[in-house]
Chains A and B, each alone.
Chain A
Amino acid sequence: QSVLTQPPSASGTPGQRVTISCSGSSSNIGSNTVNWYQQLPGTAPKILIYSNNQRPSGVPDRFSGSKSGTSASLAISGLQSEDEADYYCAVWDDSLKGPVFGGGTRLTVL
């Protein structure tokens, strides 16, 4: 049982826009910034979005993040086949004094 709640799966067709939600609490999302990681099949996770909505260099602007209260969202526009991956939200938890992750969302491009 993960501290952060994500839908286990999401899907879309090429060119569509999909969103992935991440729900937490006042001790994590409610008081800290959210990061998103992308894990392509068989590889290590990679930072996708940090500080709620910042993209590291090299990440396409098709990826965007937002946060409101104790929830966050990752949006992917202009969906491409190479976006098929697992996506994880993560945030520092003040109570646990450590980072917590969502259970992950598997994105399928139909």
Chain B
Amino acid sequence: QVQLVESGGGLVKPRGSLRLSCAASGFTFSDYYMTWIRQAPGKGLEWVSYISISSSYTNYADSVKGRFTISRDNAKNSLYLQMNSLRAEDTAVYYCARSKWNYDPFDYWGQGTLVTVSS
């Protein structure tokens, strides 16, 4: 069965860095676009970034552009999010999700990993 398992969340100080991972199984990872979506405590969903199948194309929300970097390793069935210069407003549960193309619906989501930015 399809599984997406995020890891790497935790408590980090403002201006610090963190790297999130998403381990995929149960499907052909290299056939899907992958996306990071976050949800601040008590708030709605916000798209963060997506990456194409071959990593040739990425895009970022304005709120994280220049600070976050998405990447993937198809050989390891893994998705990553390198987060630098973290701010308090980056505090959220971060979900990874898959879609056939970048404009397609997210048919599977991970369970999320919590990132807390606080001094």
Contact = CB atoms under 8 A, between A and B. Distances in A.
Interface of A: 2, 32, 35, 37, 43-47, 50-51, 56, 88, 90, 92, 97-104
Interface of B: 35, 44-47, 50, 59, 61, 95, 102-103, 105-107, 109-112
Question: SS class of chain B's interface: helix, strand, loop or mixed?
Answer: loop
Contacts of A35: 105-106
A101 B44 contact: yes
A53 B113 CA distance: 31
Contacts of A45: 45, 95, 106, 109
Contact of B112 (A44, A56, A104): A44
A35 B106 CA distance: 9
Contacts of B109: 44-46
A50 B44 contact: no
A52 to B, nearest CB: 11
A99 B59 CA distance: 11
A103 B112 CA distance: 19
A47 B107 CA distance: 6
A90 B103 contact: no
